[in-house]
Amino acid sequence: MARGPIEDIYPLTGMQRAMLVRCLSYPDQPVYMGQWWALIEGPLDRTAFCAAWGAVIQRHAALRSGIHWDTKKDPFQAVLSAPAFQVETLDWSDRADWRATLQSFLAADRATPFDLKRPPLMRVRLVALAPDRHIVVWTRHHLVVDGWSLGLIVDEVLGAYRGLAAAPALAFRRYVEWDNGRNLTGARKHWSRILDGYHPPETMIEPAGTAPSIGERVIQLSQAIGQRLSVVATSERLTMSTLVEGAWGLVLARAAGVDDVLFGCVETVRPPELLGDQSAHLVGPQIGIQPARIAVDDTPLRDWLARLQASRAAGREAGHVGLDVIRDMLDLPRNALPVASLLAVQTYPLSLAGALRAAGLTLVESVDVSLPDMPLNLMVEIADGLSIRLMFDQRHVTEAHADQLLAMMVRALEGLTDGLDRPASGLDVLPPSVVRTLTEDFAGATLEVGAETVPGIILRHIRTQPDALAVLGSDRDMTHRAMTYRDMGAYAAAVAASLVARGAGRGSRVALVLDRSPRAVAAIVGIEFAGASYVPIDPDAPAERRAQILEAAAVSAVVTDRAHASSFGERPVVAIEDIVPDAAALEAIKPSAPEQEAYLIFTSGSTGRPKGVSVGHDNLRYHVAASAAETPDLPVGRFLLTFPLFFDGSVTGLFCTFTQGGTLVLPTAEETQDPDRLVALVRKEEITHVCMTPSFWRLLLDAAGTAGLPALRQAKIAAEPCPSALVSLHARVMPHVALCNEYGPTEGTVWVSMERCRPETIADAVPIGHAIAGTRLYVLDHRERLCPIGTTGELVIAGPAVARAYVGADPGVELRWRANPFSSNPAFAPTYRTGDRVSYGFDGRLYFHGRRDRQLKIGGYRIEPGEVEAALMWSDGVVEAAVVAEQRDGSAARLVAHIAGDSLPGDEELRRVLSSRLPSYMFPQAFVRHVRLARSGNGKIEYGTLPLSDAAATPAEAPVGDRETALAGIWQDLLGLNRVGRHDDFFMLGGSSLLAMQMIARIRRDLTIPAEISDLFEAPRIADLALRLEKRAAAGAAGTMTIAPRRRARVDLPP
């Protein structure tokens, strides 16, 4: 009986369905393609060779199958009886540099996608270089050919070329029926137990709207290392695959900064119960992804690897499950990648060299490349040595990152040959070159610091420029006070004399309970002149907190005003109103020694009790020297001090100004709360330098308007993350002003890193910059090891910026001070663990990632509020933003954005701006508008005071227009919902990859719009999808909104 054009139709396997979704997401991109090429020598019969390929394709149903998805409810494969196929022959005999031509040809061929409906999904090219020298290029799609089949097919082609009779081909339908008929109960139970408790270090989302950009790195390990690994495997009864998997797990764990990692191992699935021994000869895509969960612990490597091998064997026995199932077990969103890395160890059942020799040919060279389907794809070919090929998606992984990972992999494999007695956690996979970069190359520049302490430098300026203006501002009684250096010196000397007379001299601590004012500033200098250290306290702090600080600091005296003088019991008090300036007293001043304490600033403690940070004169001396060294082109002229004196940001304003002979300008409390008044002050007093939080600087930029601030030269921003939108706005409004993003804890003497912000060097995130001169900054993981470049860990400061210790702190916090294991230089001996999460870029700049306690989880997604806040700042009219999670009455948590400004955009405009910068799952579900957000005394947003959003705003907004209504109807049908809102997200409502394909098929059939699955992935909300489809229709596609009648499924055959 003659066969028709369609020989058979049957469903896809589970793996085929998963691959199809990604293929349809990028219809013009070559995802899931493999490319094998070989250089062969010998007398080749070209005609017979080409015929052999055609005969093998005709033998196997899988090679004659096309994939269809939009004509029936579920996708299927249709087997054609005789698809058109021909080997393309090329002549490059005139090419002198055939390798260059080959590389261009291979790249162009890989970039050419297949039409999935038109089998065979492969291309074969035979290139003649000379009569007895040829290149074979075979490009195929993994939807129909897996790695194991590659060997079978090449073996059959060479057999057909030799005229050997082949056994009847096995039917791929048998495998499809077996795969779809499997009872997955046992497999689900097994993998659910294995994955229980696993939490991915981050939720990796497939980027919408951009196709993969593939990078590749290859390294060949020496034959000697391969032999040593083989000896280890044999002696320990381990497979080479186990050694490779273990090494890769150690690398991924170190790169992620965790002890628990998950990646996928690509495995051939050829069950003996299906076809017995013949299963190994079945051609078709028979692969599965087995999750490999690697827990790095202190188990000896020998036992650790044996445990890994046993776990993999148990996984094979249980059977594989699809990536969608793994994603559900991990409670990840539908568009999240369940694993970020795949590993394939290639041991195909074929000796190419031997098969070619049997055909009278010689294999000179052979390369097989598969385009990756995850961000990281490691392919290891085990032969005489080990060939390691890392292919990576450059949307997720940079070339520099890939190079580092590959170097770490080599280091790990080499480490496995040095003995397996040490613990798994003890195998250091970080190459020495990376360690050298992190500890030496990224260190701050060398800085020579003079012997003179800060009080001595100030005293020198008092004597050399007595008539220069030192301080300008108003006292608490609003009387204007302008102090020259002579005036300040005379007042400070009198304060010092008063303190010494009360027994609060050298080595004492003196509380300063004053608001910003010229006399308060001079009093600080006076405390330093007395040889004491100052302890600033907020005058408006609750009496209990003041008492806690006074007790913890064991202060010897208090400098305050008359209004507070009676609040300190028996302690000696100096009231600033009673001080009579005494220039003659300056002669008795002896500057403090470097080893003395300069100041003690209290910050919040974990139990609610404040803890003091003791900063020495050596620290302070270094601080002012580093400040001058980092910005030598920006000497301080007039510095506007907006921070209160009890905040460590005031230290920079005070001492960097006075040690450079500049003028400190003090705004009133009212001016610091009113951007318009503060701008007026900056203009009037010709301020050259300001330092404030990024959010407050944004308010000043808006208030300054087009008139700008002509005298300003530098704007320092600190104390909170800087959004990239602020950098762009600053560059447009005040291009003449240097914008410096500074980072540092109180324990690091105010600052330890700085980024001079320029829009051309800033991407989505604004770095906190490089280590300042004289400082070294390390990023450590939870095991106190150096983090690889790009890995987030805890920032540790080393060098002269590290403060002395805590005073009055809770037990245990002193452990934040450690000895430096990375340097024997005494200058870097003390280190301080900040608790802040940062990462290094490959250019040596640090990026701040906040503290983990601000990270939110909404709908299965991990969200950093700061990232959403930064995106909101790109909206016109938004000058402040604060994002929080809100949950009440047992309902699911939702993301709420609090925004402030005088002219705020509507919700639709906010979503439009966010859509260009964030994935839809990071969109706030509600927006709360304010004129201004509440701030603390140091200028930071007070998140705890933000009000709840309007709960009445939660009902879904109904679809608008015919197109949205029609789409909502399809969604309700597919998702089984009674109501869908126009801003609801398809995947957040439970949409799966399979439902996405059905959704697109329904849109095509019912609405007659030629939608693609990428439309839904890139616009998962009804309102956005309707707009996208409207544009498609306007571009020329048919698109009437009447519901089309149901049609019978039809397969369009190729001509």
- Calpha distance 172→79 (Å, rounded): 10
Domain boundary, last residue among 892, 918, 953:
953
Residue 918: inside a domain: yes
| pLDDT exceeds cutoff 60 at 955 | no
Question: Residues 138, 258: one domain?
Answer: no
Query: For position 400, what pLDDT does the model report?
Result: 96
Contacts for 514 with CB less than 8 Å, ≥ 6 apart:
520, 523, 539, 559, 560, 561, 576, 645
- Calpha distance 599→592 (Å, rounded): 12
Question: Residues 895, 1030: one domain?
Answer: no
Q: How far is CA 344 from CA 164, 284, 377, 756, in A?
A: 32, 17, 8, 44
Question: Residues 289, 141: one domain?
Answer: no
Measured in degrees and rounded to the nearest 5, phi and psi for residue 139 equal -110, 130
Residue 443: inside a domain: no
Query: For position 616, what pLDDT does the model report?
Result: 97
H or E segment at 494? helix 485-501
What's the average model confidence in pLDDT over 934-940?
Answer: 73
Query: For position 408, what pLDDT does the model report?
Result: 98
* CATH code: domain of residue 921: 3.30.300.30
What's the average model confidence in pLDDT over 165-187?
Answer: 91
Question: Residues 104, 222: one domain?
Answer: no
User: pLDDT-derived band of residue 706, with 50, 70 and 90 as boundaries?
Assistant: confident
Write the pLDDT tens digit of every residue in 401-458: 999 999 999 999 999 999 899 999 999 999 999 999 999 999 999 998 988 999 999 9
Question: Residues 18, 43: one domain?
Answer: yes
* CATH code: domain of residue 282: 3.30.559.30
- Calpha distance 188→24 (Å, rounded): 27
- Calpha distance 986→992 (Å, rounded): 9
| pLDDT exceeds cutoff 90 at 304 | yes
Average pLDDT, the chain: 88
Question: Residues 949, 965: one domain?
Answer: no
Tokens, residue 208? 């919408």
Residue 859: inside a domain: yes
Query: For position 371, what pLDDT does the model report?
Result: 67
Write the pLDDT tens digit of every residue in 24-60: 877 777 778 889 999 999 999 999 999 999 999 999 9
User: pLDDT-derived band of residue 1046, with 50, 70 and 90 as boundaries?
Assistant: very low
* CATH code: domain of residue 989: 1.10.1200.10
DSSP 786-851: BPPTT--EEEEEESTTS--EEESPPTTGGGGEEE-TT---GGG-EEEEEEEEEEE-TTS-EEE---
Query: For position 862, what pLDDT does the model report?
Result: 59
Contact 724, 764 (CB under 8 A): yes
| pLDDT exceeds cutoff 60 at 946 | yes
* CATH code: domain of residue 16: 3.30.559.10
Contact 76, 12 (CB under 8 A): yes
- Calpha distance 928→943 (Å, rounded): 13
Contacts for 797 with CB less than 8 Å, ≥ 6 apart:
745, 747, 748, 752, 775, 776, 777, 831, 832, 834
Query: For position 1052, what pLDDT does the model report?
Result: 47
Q: Comparing 1010 with 772, which gets the higher pLDDT?
A: 772
Question: Residues 945, 983: one domain?
Answer: no
Sign for the pseudo-dihedral over CA of 9, 13, 14, 17: negative
Sign for the pseudo-dihedral over CA of 482, 487, 488, 492: negative
Question: Residues 139, 263: one domain?
Answer: no
- Calpha distance 874→910 (Å, rounded): 9
Residue located via tokens 């408006």: 540
Residue 791: inside a domain: no
Contact 688, 639 (CB under 8 A): yes
Residues forming beta bridges with residue 608, ordered by sequence position: none
- pTM to 2 decimal places: 0.82
Domain boundary, last residue among 953, 972, 1006:
953
Query: For position 800, what pLDDT does the model report?
Result: 95
Residue 732: inside a domain: no
User: pLDDT-derived band of residue 855, with 50, 70 and 90 as boundaries?
Assistant: low
What's the average model confidence in pLDDT over 528-546?
Answer: 91
Q: How far is CA 782 from CA 203, 512, 793, 833, in A?
A: 20, 39, 8, 11
Tokens, residue 483? 């102090």
Residue 447: inside a domain: no
Total structural domains in the chain? 4
Percentage of residues in the chain having pLDDT higher than 90: 58
Residue 472: inside a domain: no
Question: Residues 395, 413: one domain?
Answer: yes
- Calpha distance 420→408 (Å, rounded): 18
User: Nearest to residue 47, comparing CAs of 137, 136, 161, 165?
Assistant: 161
Query: For position 966, what pLDDT does the model report?
Result: 92
Question: Residues 145, 217: one domain?
Answer: no
- Calpha distance 911→704 (Å, rounded): 28
Domain boundaries, position 128: 6-175
Query: For position 121, what pLDDT does the model report?
Result: 96
Question: Residues 217, 356: one domain?
Answer: yes
Q: Which amino acid is at 596?
A: Q
Measure the CA angle with vertex 259, ends 258 and 263; round to 5°. Answer: 85
- Calpha distance 368→458 (Å, rounded): 71
| pLDDT exceeds cutoff 80 at 890 | no
Domain boundary, last residue among 918, 953, 988:
953
What's the average model confidence in pLDDT over 183-187?
Answer: 91
- Calpha distance 655→661 (Å, rounded): 10
Residue 509: inside a domain: no
Q: How far is CA 689 from CA 514, 564, 640, in A?
A: 23, 32, 6
H or E segment at 690? strand 689-692
Question: Residues 155, 229: one domain?
Answer: no
- Calpha distance 906→899 (Å, rounded): 11
